[in-house]
Amino acid sequence: MAKIYSKKSLVSQTMKPSEETLSFLLNYSKALSIVRIKNVDIEIISN
């Protein structure tokens, strides 16, 4: 199509993060553990 004349509908614009972002965060949270050794936080990411 040479030109698109339509305006994007605002109805479909939901204020929500993408599925990828959400699943990344939940997986990141599951993988992350933080250990404190002598006042130093060490982050461990398990595979």
Nearer to other proteins, 8 or 38 (CB): 8
> Are the beta carbons of 45 and 32 closer than 8 angstroms?
yes
Query: Is 21 in contact with 10 (CB distance < 8 Å)?
Result: no
| Interactions with other proteins, residue window 8-47 (CB under 8 A) | 8-9, 11-12, 14-18, 20-22, 24-26, 28-30, 32-34, 36, 41, 43
Burial tier of 7 (Cβ tally within 10 Å: 0-12, 13-18, 19+): exposed
For other proteins, the binding residues (CB under 8 A) are: 1, 3-9, 11-12, 14-18, 20-22, 24-26, 28-30, 32-34, 36, 41, 43
